[in-house]
Structure 1
């Protein structure tokens, strides 16, 4: 029997009740000063590295999914997370639009190809949640396709967790003003200008539509076995420390 804070589905998984995790409930003003950051980040990176080695030796598998607004700091957070890790024990998968061959298959097919090997940590820089975010908002998926995707994704992840894979899903949340400031800085930075495209500006105009899609994603796929963690990203230092702490907690879980 499902607990009062959870909804039980016929496919055999439980989802936290809608509204358990909301964008509106995130305190975006949270910050950490540079001195405190420098004191903590090294120790957390060493702990993450030690757990990665334990994970490798015990042949345990884990997945960390990163989603978030454009310019929310996903790449920087992943860089700090993996800074000291042994590259033989993790893979980072940057996910873009599907290629022609991938379009001929079910949208989850390409992610099956990227699941972690024994002892491996797989980090997804964007993920299968594109079906209910960008593909939904931009009209790349039909309404019937993205509506049924919630159950497909829950069932997919439940198969993985039943098979012993630990899953954490991180959403980096920022406000519109912070995003605009980061876009403008990228425009004038020769080394970072490549990160900004016309598509980013177009997506920004659909902020409300994306916010609605994100909230529905959280409501329908935040589960005990594969939870979402929404991290305030207006202060990049704070977000990076929170990401490290969250992944450390994941790797510390008993399998």
Structure 2
């Protein structure tokens, strides 16, 4: 485990508080407000050539996709990229497991979101014995070094785990099964993973202990109530992105002001 931690590692909980949003209009207003703030933060990151990596892990049907959609829908698409992580391609399987994630590191001025991530090494690959014990145990150190390197090079790393109860997952699986437009979301692998929930709980909590660091801490999102989870996640991301960052819009370039006053008949004094 990394010696410098932001706080005690989080632990999966069984107590899921109720949502503060009983009315859809209240939720929509809160969502729109935080989305606008996130857009301004994205602009600041673009102008200051900052970059961030936002990592999503969580149970199947915990709301990762819906939350990512709410994060990105109001952002400038030129400055945000979503990397959906699935089984590595054949040509990637003989390379180090971090190889394909290095290829997706955000460029200066941009945000990248991982929909699942390199943590598959210590989750699904551990639980399903797709990696040897020595491989997934070694991966904790490799992951910490990977994230430390990113942070040292100016990448802000935000790690989220979307947590829902076993009962809520069952309800969402059933909803997908009965909805012709959502059936494709429910897979044999989802049902297989559900049977191994206890094994996953152990692996997830071990992951928190081993990789919750001061520079890249884990944050568990209560995903039991979708509206609340989306707003809470966006608020947390905004708080993390804003920490130590001035999001004030940059001043206009003097050359642009001069040209605008000449060509567009804009009052220079008003622009100042």
Q: Number of aligned pairs?
A: 243
Q: Does 1:22 align with 2:41?
A: no
The residue number in structure 1 matching 2:169 is 179
Judge conservation of contact 2:60–2:169 (CA < 8 Å) in 1: yes
- The structural deviation recorded for 1:250 is 2.0
Point out 4+ residue stretches in structure 1 off by more than 4 angstroms.
none
- The structural deviation recorded for 1:39 is 2.0
- The structural deviation recorded for 1:93 is 0.4
Unaligned runs of 5+ in 2: 246-272
- The structural deviation recorded for 1:118 is 0.8
Deviations 1:1-53 (A, max 9, x none): xxxxxx754xxxx2357x631112x6423312223212211000000011101
The residue number in structure 2 matching 1:138 is 128
Q: Does 1:231 align with 2:221?
A: yes
SS at match of 1:56: helix
SS at match of 1:92: strand
Match of 1:45 among 22, 35, 38: 35
Judge conservation of contact 1:30–1:232 (CA < 8 Å) in 2: no
Judge conservation of contact 1:178–1:234 (CA < 8 Å) in 2: yes
State how 1:77-96 maps to structure 2 within 5 Å.
Answer: 77-96=67-86
Question: What is the distance in 2 between the residues matched to 1:254 and 1:95?
Answer: 30
Q: Does 1:241 align with 2:231?
A: yes
State how 1:1-255 maps to structure 2 within 5 Å.
Answer: 9=3, 14-15=4-5, 20-24=9-13, 27-31=15-19, 32-33=21-22, 34-254=24-244
Question: What is the distance in 2 between the residues matched to 1:139 and 1:163?
Answer: 33
Unaligned runs of 5+ in 1: 1-6
Question: What is the distance in 1 between the residues matched to 2:6 and 2:128?
Answer: 27
Deviations 1:122-162 (A, max 9, x none): 10000000000001001111111001110110011001101
SS at match of 1:248: helix
Alignment TM-score, normalising by the size of structure 2: 0.86
SS at match of 2:9: coil
SS at match of 1:107: coil
Alignment TM-score, normalising by the size of structure 1: 0.92
Judge conservation of contact 2:223–2:229 (CA < 8 Å) in 1: yes
